[in-house]
């Protein structure tokens, strides 16, 4: 079926993301092909169960999308664990040894997007939380005062049991519209999302610029010129 035979999109606008656009186009083309092959009128076709889209159809669309090299962003750690071939790997923290410095000569070990503007910056201890075992230990032993949780799972499910006890959160994935961002906003816990970290380690003392303005949730996250709040290593 040529593109000309595919019914036009009645909403007349591009999808918000390439992934959505891929599925919209695939669904429209499949429906058009089946409708043309059925020999039915449109009124007959919409009532015919044999023309309904099935799970197999959607699995084929997903397979075609993944065949292009595309990988989904992780919204929950369990997704990556169960189907690693479908998802982008979680970000890791390296150490380039070339961190820029702030006005006081301290290393800037990260930048991110502020979920909301807090009343003040927050100083504390960076604690990396990426496993259920770490969460279970903190549930049993308690979360230390001044904990700034460094998380790679933007879904938020992993840390929900202890989220309220953090002084701050720095997440290496997602955006200010992610599940974790919504949860931290509701709890009133300062949070940076989509953080890029370099040179910060477990136990480092840091200060995070949570008092900076909140990020625009509809801004282009790929804009490298935007001024992002910083995580600064203090000791």
Q: Are residues 114 and 209 both part of a single domain?
A: yes
Check pLDDT > 70 for residue 142: yes
Q: Which residue has the tokens 């300062």?
A: 190
Q: Are residues 216 and 166 both part of a single domain?
A: yes
Task: Give the separation between CA 153 and CA 159, rounded to whole angstroms.
Answer: 9
Q: Are residues 40 and 145 both part of a single domain?
A: no
Would you give the DSSP letter of residue 199? Answer: S
Across the strands, what pairs with 232?
Answer: 108, 207
Check pLDDT > 50 for residue 1: no
- Say if residues 234 and 124 touch (Cβ distance below 8 Å): no
Listed residues 22, 51, 70: the one ending a domain = 70
Residue 199 lies in domain: 108-233
| pLDDT at residue 223 in the model | 67
Q: Are residues 13 and 60 both part of a single domain?
A: yes
Listed residue (145, 159, 124, 136) closest to 232, CA to CA: 124
Task: Give the separation between CA 115 and CA 169, rounded to whole angstroms.
Answer: 10
DSSP string, 115-135: SS--SS-EEEEEEEE-SHHHH
Task: Give the separation between CA 10 and CA 188, rounded to whole angstroms.
Answer: 41
Q: Are residues 119 and 224 both part of a single domain?
A: yes
Q: In terms of pTM, does the model score above 0.85?
A: no
Q: Are residues 62 and 130 both part of a single domain?
A: no
pLDDT band at 227 (very low <50, low <70, confident <90, very high): confident
- Say if residues 182 and 221 touch (Cβ distance below 8 Å): no
């Amino acid at each position: 079926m040529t593109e000309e035979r595919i019914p036009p999109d009645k909403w007349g606008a591009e999808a918000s993301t390439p992934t959505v656009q891929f599925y919209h186009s695939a669904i429209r083309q499949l429906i058009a092909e089946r409708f043309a092959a059925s020999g039915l009128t449109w009124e007959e076709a919409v009532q015919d169960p044999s023309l309904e889209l099935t799970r197999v159809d959607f699995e084929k669309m997903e397979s075609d999308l993944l065949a292009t090299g595309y990988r989904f962003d992780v919204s929950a750690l369990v997704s990556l664990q169960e189907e690693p071939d479908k998802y982008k790997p979680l970000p890791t923290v390296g150490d380039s040894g070339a961190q820029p410095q702030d006005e006081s000569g301290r290393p800037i070990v990260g930048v991110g997007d502020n979920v909301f503007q807090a009343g003040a910056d927050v100083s504390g201890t960076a604690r990396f939380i990426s496993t259920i075992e770490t969460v279970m230990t903190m549930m049993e032993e308690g979360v230390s005062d001044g904990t700034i949780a460094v998380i790679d799972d933007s879904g938020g499910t992993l840390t929900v049991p202890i989220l309220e006890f953090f002084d701050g959160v720095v997440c290496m994935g997602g955006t200010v519209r992610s599940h974790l961002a919504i949860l931290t906003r509701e709890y009133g816990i300062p949070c940076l999302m989509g953080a890029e970290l370099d040179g910060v380690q477990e136990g480092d003392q840091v200060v995070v610029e949570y008092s900076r303005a909140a990020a625009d949730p509809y801004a282009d996250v790929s804009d490298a010129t935007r001024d992002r709040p910083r995580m600064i290593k203090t000791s």
